[in-house]
Amino acid sequence: MTGGDDNPILRGLPLLGDLPPLDGTSVLVRVDFNVPLGVGERGAPTVTDDFRIRSALPTFRYLLERGAKVTACTHLGRPDGAPDARWEMTPVRDRLAELAPQVQLLDNLRFQPGECDNDPAFVDKLVNGHDAYVNDAFGVSHRAHASIVGPPKFLPSAAGLLLQRELEVLGGLLGLPQRPFVAVVGGAKVTDKLGVLTKLLDRVDALLVGGGMAFTFLAAAGHDVGASMVDHDQIDRCADLLAGDTPILLPSDIVALEPGAGYGCGFDQGQVVIVEDDVPAGWVGLDIGPATVKAYSEKIAGAGTVLWNGPMGVFEDDRFCAGTTGVAQAVAECRGFTVVGGGDSAAAVDAIGLADRIDFISTGGGASLELLEHGDLPGLVALRGAINAPARGTSRGRPSS
C-alpha cells in the first residue's frame, strides 16, 4: 500500500525531482540521526542502532549521483541550547563516514538555542553557502524548529525519499487502507494519545489497547487497577470512547507486580502474578497477559491493515516483555499490510529480530501520531511554501529515485 496519486498529504509538496539541476550545487539535508548510543572500545561512545542513518542513504545517493555536495544536519539527544559532551556528533559522524563518506555532518543543531526557538539568525547561518534544501527528517517534522521550517523560505526545497515514503504509507492509512483496519496502541500516557485515538476510531475497524495507557481505559470500564498508572483526568474521556461505535479491546488479564517492588532495567525482585479482570490493591500492572496476547493476535491475524504504535508493557524488563513480544510476532505473521509507528515499537521489533517481516517501520513515533491526528505537519507546510513547490492541487506519485 502506498499513498499514490490520491494522497492529499503529497499534494503541493516539492519532491527531489522538483529541485533545480544539482550538478555543482551544495545541498543542506536535514536528517534525523537521533540514534541510540552505547559504550564501544576503550570506553568511547558508539552508535548501537544505525537504522535512522541507513534510512537516509537513498536520498544521499540521489543527490551525490547528480553532482551535488551534500551536508547533513541533525540533533542528538536533548542538550539545552549549549554544547554538551554527552551529545557530541563524533560517534554519529564516524558511522556516517563508513556508510556515506562523501557526506559532511554539522555539529549538533541543538547546541544552538536558535534551533528550538526557530531564530531567524540561526536559519540564516544554516542556509548560508547552500543552494538547495532537503528535509528527510520525518521524525522531527512535527517540530517548528529552525532547521525544519526555516530553510524553505530561502532555498529551493524538497522532501527526501525517506520523508516521501513515510507520507505515502501513513497517508495511505488516512485514505483507503485495506480492511479490516486494526490499530494496536500502547505506551505509557493516555493523555499523549487521546487525540490520535479519537481520530483513529473514525477510521479503524478495531482498536486494541495495551501499555500503561490501558489502565485508564480499564478504570473507565469499571475495573480496579490497583496502583497501576492511571490518568484520572482522562477517565471520563476514555469512557466516552468506549461508548462509541468502534470496538475497543482492552486487556482481559494483566501481569502485575507486588507492592513496593521495582521494575525496569536492572530490577528482578518482587512477586509477579497474572490477574484477571481486576488488579489487587497496591499491585502494579506492567504488561498484558497471555489471554490478551492470544485475543489480540487473533484480531491482528485477520486484518487487512495493521498499525502498531507503542509497547504493550515495560518490555525492557524481561518479566514484562511477553505482551510486546507476542504482539510483535502477530504483526510479523499478519498477511495484511503492516506498519509499526516508530519509537519503542520499532526498537522492540528490531530487538526481537522481526524488523524484516514488517512491511513498513516508521522513523518517527511522535511525528507519525501527529500526522495521523492532524493530517499535516509544520515541516510539510514549510516545504509547500518553497519557491519551487508545485501547485497545491497537484497530486504526487512514487519516489523520484
Strands 45-47 and 37-39: antiparallel
Q: Which of 61, 66, 153, 189 is catalytic?
A: 189
CB 313 within 8 A of CB 321: yes
| Euclidean distance between CA atoms 326 and 291, whole angstroms | 11
C-alpha cell of residue 386: 518553497
| Euclidean distance between CA atoms 69 and 23, whole angstroms | 9
| Euclidean distance between CA atoms 396 and 364, whole angstroms | 22
Q: Is 343 a catalytic residue?
A: yes
Task: Report angle CA 187, 272, 325 to the nearest 5 degrees.
Answer: 45
Q: Is 396 a catalytic residue?
A: no
Q: Is 52 a catalytic residue?
A: yes
- For residue 360, report the phi and psi dihedrals to the nearest 5 degrees: -150, 130
Q: Is 393 a catalytic residue?
A: no
Q: Which of 366, 375, 385, 397 is catalytic?
A: 366
| Euclidean distance between CA atoms 35 and 346, whole angstroms | 13
* Total Cβ atoms within 10 A of residue 21: 9
C-alpha cell of residue 270: 518482587
| Euclidean distance between CA atoms 358 and 290, whole angstroms | 22
For residues 381, 387, 388, 392, the Cα torsion angle rounded to the nearest 10 degrees is: 50
Q: Which of 3, 12, 52, 342 is catalytic?
A: 52
* Total Cβ atoms within 10 A of residue 280: 14
Q: Which of 211, 310, 343, 365 is catalytic?
A: 343
Active site members: 52, 189, 343, 366
